[in-house]
Structure 1
């Protein structure tokens, strides 16, 4: 399922959401321009679980932040930015700019630590905005369960475009993360980070909420 837009307009310009998208875009274009050298950048500025346990959280906090702005490919980057654009503006609307930025980073850190503690000896770097964006999805799930998401659903050669309540769209997304984590073997996607970010966002969103309808 590919979300296209929701039916809740922003009351304020989503400055933080747009800024995050711009920073992620610039970072990805820089990565892409490096060609084969991109791998060195990922190992330098991504989060490696084994190193985090060796050097401690203080020494890795900067890398946990830079890792959120790196991506491994076009699909990884584009899908993350699409979800952030559709769901981030409304969560930012309810929190205000500073609270939303803090929420975004904090759920991203929790998502990273969820992955790290699940495989503390891993030497594979973790990168991507997915954990933080999962936190935004968890927040949206709690704040706007009755919103409707215009969704593109490809079925073989046919394409359906329908409105789906956010409760079901995001609930199904979360279920997919659990199923992928449970049944996939060796994988390059940190589904457990998505799960940790979503749960953190859903649990903490009310603490960050500032504006109410």
Structure 2
């Protein structure tokens, strides 16, 4: 729908978005560690680290040789796997453009918790709608969807540069691009869009992000770009000093 390029939105509470950078590095490293093996190896990784609803809900079991983590951990681990370089690049670009300001609003630790919980929510909603599915879910899209909805609530009026339809450069308020993106996710979910994309995972992340940002943001961070007006100490100007008029003593007259 669109490709985000840049937002003119400086950090206000942190010096460096090192959690956002760390998440991008972790995703890129995981991709290069898992995506270039044999087809059998990449399939094993997808089944071992991806989220499989039927396994998570106890309707099926993985072969022992594919069990890399406790099943509950796959609610998070799936979000660090990607199918190809375009899948990875799109998610990481969204995280790079929008993640820093959400991290700025929440703080480092709470942003990491926020990101992981959005990933969990995406997987959970996907699994609830297809509990018997044996197809692994992979990708950071659920967590990224949460970041997008949080950014929309925090900074709807910030101007962002995008490539509309992948080719038209535009500088528009964030609420136009991001609200349309979110509406598109819901439309595709209701219409039963492409089968290879879990629109349910996106919806789970969007809803989780919108709710969590209300709870986890720092107290001095406003919503919807509202300004917090701090009362200033008002100095009341004193009137200029008035020199009092002295009553001069009455002249003494000598006795006649």
TM-score range, shorter chain: over 0.9
Equivalent position of 2:236 in the other structure:
none
- Pick from 120, 129, 133: which aligns with 1:122? 133
Q: Whose RCO is larger (CA < 8 A, sep 6+)? A: 1
Q: Secondary structure at the match of 1:81?
A: helix
Equivalent position of 2:195 in the other structure:
187
- Structure 2: 5+ residue stretches without partners: 60-69, 222-227, 229-256
1:31 aligns with 2:39: no
1: CA distance, partners of 2:200 / 2:157: 26
Equivalent position of 1:47 in the other structure:
51
- Pick from 157, 163, 178: which aligns with 2:171? 163
Structure 1: 4+ residue segments shifted above 4 A: none
1: CA distance, partners of 2:194 / 2:186: 15
2: CA distance, partners of 1:193 / 1:99: 21
Q: Which has the larger radius of gyration?
A: 2
1: CA distance, partners of 2:196 / 2:73: 23
1:2 aligns with 2:6: no
The count of corresponding residues between Structure 1 and Structure 2 is 208
Q: Secondary structure at the match of 1:13?
A: coil
Tell me by how many angstroms 1:33 deviates.
2.0
1:66 aligns with 2:77: yes
1: CA distance, partners of 2:108 / 2:194: 38
- Structure 1: 5+ residue stretches without partners: none
Tell me by how many angstroms 1:186 deviates.
5.7
Closer, same or farther: CA 118–15 of 1 in aligned 2, 3 Å: same
Deviation track 1:144-190 (CA, whole Å, cap 9, x = no partner) reads 111111011248xxx42111211111111111112222224561111
Tell me by how many angstroms 1:82 deviates.
0.2
1: CA distance, partners of 2:179 / 2:125: 20
Q: Secondary structure at the match of 2:170?
A: strand
Equivalent position of 2:121 in the other structure:
110
- Pick from 135, 150, 172: which aligns with 1:139? 150
Q: Secondary structure at the match of 1:151?
A: strand
Deviation track 1:92-148 (CA, whole Å, cap 9, x = no partner) reads 001110000001111110111010001001000111111011111111111111111
2: CA distance, partners of 1:75 / 1:128: 11
Q: Secondary structure at the match of 2:164?
A: strand
TM-score of the two chains, using structure 1 as the length reference: 0.92
TM-score of the two chains, using structure 2 as the length reference: 0.77
